[in-house]
Amino acid sequence: MGAGLAVIGAGIGIGLIGYGVAQAIARQPEAAGEIRSQTFLLAILVEGAAILLGLLSLVLG
């Protein structure tokens, strides 16, 4: 249950990041490298929260 909720949140977050990145690269292909490294950072932060919750649900459940 908890793991499922964590995955929903992270899925929405990473999906939004992916949407933004695809649009940004399509608009400015020459800035792809810089955009990609920023993406990594954001995706990591979103994923970190999801993993924290997943582990919590594993420990408490």
Partner 1 sequence: MIVGEKITEKWSMDQAAQYAKDHVIDSDKLAEKNIFDFEFLTTLTEKASAFGLPIDFAISKHVFLLFFVSFITVGTIVTLVQSYISHKKNIPNKFMSMIEMMVVYLREDVLKTTIGDKEHRDWAPLIYTIFFFVLFSNILGLIPIFDLSGLIGSLGYKFEIFKEKYNFLYVLSKGGNTVTANINVTFALATISFFAFIGAGIKKYGFMQHWKNLAPSGLPWPLYFVVVPIEFMGLFIRPLALTLRLAGNMMGGHIALVIFITFIFSANAELGAFAGFAIAPFSVALALGLTMLELLVAVIQAYVFALLTAVFIGMAIHVDH
Contacting residues toward partner 1, per CB under 8 A: 33, 37, 40-41, 44, 47-48, 51-52, 54-55
What CA–CA distance (Å, rounded) separates 46 from 16? 11
Whether residue 17 contacts residue 39, with contact meaning beta carbons closer than 8 Å, is answered with: yes
Tell the smallest beta-carbon distance from residue 56 to partner 1 (Å).
Answer: 9
Q: Decide whether 26 or 44 has the Cβ nearer to partner 1.
A: 44
Q: How far is the CB of 25 from partner 1 (least distance, A)?
A: 17
Nearer to partner 1, 28 or 47 (CB): 47
DSSP per-residue codes, 22-35: HHHHHH-GGGHHHH
